[in-house]
């Protein structure tokens, strides 16, 4: 996977909170810090996100996106 974003942080999904349209993804980083991202419910489903999965927080400007391999 190649990205133009300089900040790619690996972590594990700690919690998923599904709403009608969006899903809140809470990622726990090594050391216990957390990053929270809100993505569309469709994106969460397409990425097959689940608690405990390893994911990457991709940070560019003020947006946080979720990536999987």
- Residue 42 placed within a domain: yes
Is the pLDDT assigned to residue 49 strictly greater than 70? yes
Domain span at residue 23?
7-67
- What pLDDT score was predicted for residue 62? 66
Quick check: is 2 in a domain? Answer: no
Residue 29: inside a domain, yes or no?
A: yes
Residue 50 falls inside a structural domain:
yes
Q: Which of 65, 33, 29 is nearest to 49 (CA)?
A: 65
Q: What does DSSP say about strands 7-18 and 63-67: parallel, antiparallel, or unpaired?
A: unpaired
- What pLDDT does 63 receive? 65
Query: pTM value?
Result: 0.83
CATH of the domain at 50: 2.40.50.100
The answer to whether residue 1 is domain-embedded is no
- Exposed e or buried b per residue across 8-36, where buried means at least 16 C-beta atoms within 10 angstroms of its C-beta: eeebebbeeeeeeebbebbbeeeeeeebe
Whether residue 19 lies inside any domain: the answer is yes
Domain count within the chain: 1
């Amino acid at each position: 996977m190649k990205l133009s974003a300089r900040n790619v942080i690996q972590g594990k999904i700690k919690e998923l909170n599904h709403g009608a349209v969006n899903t809140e993804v809470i990622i726990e980083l090594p050391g216990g810090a957390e990053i929270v991202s809100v993505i569309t419910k469709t994106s969460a489903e397409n990425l097959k996100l689940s608690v405990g999965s390893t994911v990457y927080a991709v940070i560019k400007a003020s947006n946080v996106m979720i990536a999987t391999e």
